[in-house]
Amino acid sequence: MKRAMNRWRDAAARFAPPVLSFIAGVVAWELVGRHTNAAFLVPLSETLDRLWELSQSGELWEQLASSLAIFVVGFVLALIVGAPGGMLLARVAVLRRALDVYITIAYATPLVALIPFILSLMGFGFAPKVLVVFLFAVFPVLYNTVEGARSLKPELVEVAHSFRSSEWALWREVMVPYTLPFTMTGVRQAIGRALVGMIAAEFFLSSTGLGQLIMSASQNFDTAGVLAAILVIMVLGLVLMRIGRAIELHFARWRV
Amino acid sequence: MSVAELDQDRTSTLLPRLYAGIAILVFWEIVVRAFAPPYVATPLGIALAVPHVITDRTFLVGGAITLAAVAEGLIIALVFGTVLGLVIGQSKVADRALRQYINAGYTLPMVVVLPLVSLWFGYTGAARLATVVFAALFSITVNVADGARSVPQEYLEVARSFRSRSWRALFEIVLPAATPYFLAGLRLAAGRALIGAVVAEFFTAIPGLGYFILFNSRTFHHNEAFVAVLLLAAFGVGFDMLVSWVTHRYLPWYRRDEIPG
C-alpha cells in the first residue's frame, strides 16, 4: 500500500511539473493573445484554427513537401561529400595538415552571409537553395568525421598493415566502422544547421515552402498564419532532432 | 619531443597549409575569371577592394553597429541565460517544468522568429537586438544547466555539513564547476549571435555589416561585399580563439574534448 503510494508520488513529481507548466503556457498564450492587439499576438485557439485551415486546404502539406525536398537533397549531398571527404582527410595526413585550418575557418564563418552572393550568382531556383542547405550541413559532418578518424589508434592501422591488409580492407574493417559514430555526431549537429539553412534560403532567396508560408502571412498581417507556421517548424525541428539523436545513439553503441 | 622535432613538425604543417591556401586562391581566381560574370568576387579583386572598403564610412559605422549589437545582445543573453541555467541545473522541478520550452527555443531555427520580431519591434535596431538575444540565450542556458548539474553532490554536502551559506556554495562551488560549460556555451552563443545580427539586417534592411553585404552584392559590388564577410569570419574565428585561450590559460585542467558543444 505504502509502496504504491510512493510510486504514485514519484510519478506525480516527474510528470506534474512539465504538464502543469505546459498548461500554464497554453493558458498564458490564450489570455495574453485575447487582450493584445491582433497585429501583435493572437490567442492559441485562433492560431490552431488557422493551422487547421492551412492543413485542410492542403497548402500546409504542399509547402512542407517543398521544404523537405530542399532539406533532404542538400543534406544527402552534404553526407555524401562530408563523410568520405573527412575520412580521406584523416587517412592522408598531408591533406589534413594542408586543409584543416581552412575547414575550421569555413566552419566558423557565418554562412548566411554568403546567401546574397548565391542569390546573384544562381538566382531563384531549386539548386541555390539546395546549395545553401548543403553548405550549412557539410562542415559539421566533415569536421566530426576528421576528428573521429584522427583519434583512430595508430596501433590498429599498424596491426592491419602487419597482416598485409589492403587499403580497401583497411577502410572497410577499420576506418569506416571506427569513424561512423563520430560522423553521426556530425549528422546530428548538421540536422539543426540544415534546418536553419533551409528556412534562411526560403526567406532570402525566393519564397517557397514553409518560409513562404511565414512570409506571405506576415505580409498580409496574418499573425495567426505566422504563428501557425512557426508552430509547424518548431514541431518539425523537434522531430528531426529526435531522429538525429536516435541515429547518434544507435551508432554510439559501437563506439570504442 | 625535442625542440628540433617540434620545429620540424611545425614546418611540416606550415608548408602544406601554405601551398593549399595558395592553390585554393589560384583555383578560385581562375575559375571565376573563366566561367563567371565579371562582377563576381575573386581573391585579387577582394584584396584590391580592401583599402577603399576599410576607409569607407558606411562599412566602418556598419561594422561598429553590428558588433555593438552582438555584444549588447550577448551580455543580455549571458545574464538571463546564466540565471536560468543555474535555476534549471539546481532544481529538478524547474528543470522538468521548463525543459520543454528551452528545447523548443533551442531547436527552433532562429531565422523563423524574424517576421515575428519585426512585427513586435518594427524594422529597427530593437528587432536585431531581440534576434541576437534569442539566438544566444538557449545555448548558454543549456550549457550552464549542464555545468550546474555536473557539480559532485558530495561537494555540496560537505559545504552543507560545514554550515556554509547557500550563496557561498553557489559562488564557490557551483559557479566554478560550471565555468568550462559556460565558456563552451558562450562560444556557441557568440557564433549564433553573429548570425542572428546578420539575418536580422538582411530581413529588416537596417544599417550594419549584414546590410552592407546585402546592398553591395545587390549592386554587383561582390568584392566589396566579400570584405565584410571576411570581417565576420575573422570575428567568429577570433572569438573562438579567445575562448580557447581563456580555457587553456585559466582552466588548464579541462581538456577541450571533455566539454560538450
pLDDT in tens, B56-84: 888 999 999 999 999 999 999 999 999 99
pLDDT for B258 equals 47
pLDDT in tens, A89-121: 888 878 888 888 888 888 878 889 999 999 888
Q: Using an 8 Å CB-CB cutoff, list chain B residues near A104.
A: 237
Residue of B253 and A92 predicted with greater confidence:
A92
Contact B225 A234 (CB under 8 A): no
Instruction: For residue A224, give the chain B residue with the closest CA.
Output: B116
Lowest mean pLDDT among A31-45, A113-127, B135-149, B226-240: A31-45
Percent of chain B with pLDDT over 90: 35
pLDDT in tens, A42-87: 888 888 999 999 999 988 999 999 999 999 999 999 999 999 998 8
Mutation pick from B107, B218, B227, B229 vs chain A, by most beta carbons of A within 10 Å, is B107
Crossing angle for the helix pair A44-56 and A223-252, to the nearest 10 degrees: 80
Contact A102 B24 (CB under 8 A): yes
pLDDT for B197 equals 94
Mutation pick from B96, B138, B230 vs chain A, by most beta carbons of A within 10 Å, is B96
How is residue B183 annotated by DSSP? H
Q: Using an 8 Å CB-CB cutoff, list chain A residues near B225.
A: 116-117
Q: Is A3 exposed, middle or buried (0-12, 13-18, 19+ CB in 10 A)?
A: exposed
pLDDT for B261 equals 40
> How far A8 CA lies from chain B's nearest CA (Å)?
16
pLDDT in tens, B148-169: 888 877 887 888 888 877 778 7
Q: Using an 8 Å CB-CB cutoff, list chain B residues near A92.
A: none
Residue of A239 and A123 predicted with greater confidence:
A239
Cβ atoms of A62 and A54 closer than 8 Å: no
Least CB-CB distance to B93: which of A17, A25, A195? Answer: A17
B136/B129 Cα distance (integer angstroms): 11
Contact B12 A97 (CB under 8 A): yes
pLDDT for B260 equals 45
Work out how many CB contacts closer than 8 A connect A with B: 140
Nearest-10 Cα torsion for A94, A98, A100, A106: -150
Q: Using an 8 Å CB-CB cutoff, list chain A residues near B19.
A: 98
Q: Which amino acid is at A242?
A: R
**Mean pLDDT (whole number) for B181-204:** 90
A99/A113 Cα distance (integer angstroms): 22
**Statement: residue B253 has pLDDT above 80:** no
Q: Using an 8 Å CB-CB cutoff, list chain B residues near A232.
A: none
**Statement: residue A32 has pLDDT above 60:** yes
Nearest-10 Cα torsion for B49, B50, B52, B55: 160
Instruction: For residue B109, give the chain A residue with the closest CA.
Output: A196
Least CB-CB distance to B20: which of A99, A121, A227? Answer: A99
**Average pLDDT over all residues of chain B:** 86
Instruction: For residue A151, give the chain B residue with the closest CA.
Output: B257
User: Would the ipTM clear 0.85, i.e. be above it?
Assistant: no
Lowest mean pLDDT among A212-221, B38-47, B129-138, B242-251: B242-251
The cell numbers describing B248, all together, are 587553456
pLDDT for A137 equals 94
Contact B17 A97 (CB under 8 A): yes
Region label for A42, one of left (φ > 0), alpha (ψ between -120 and 50) or beta (otherwise) = beta
Q: Using an 8 Å CB-CB cutoff, list chain A residues near B232.
A: 109-110, 113
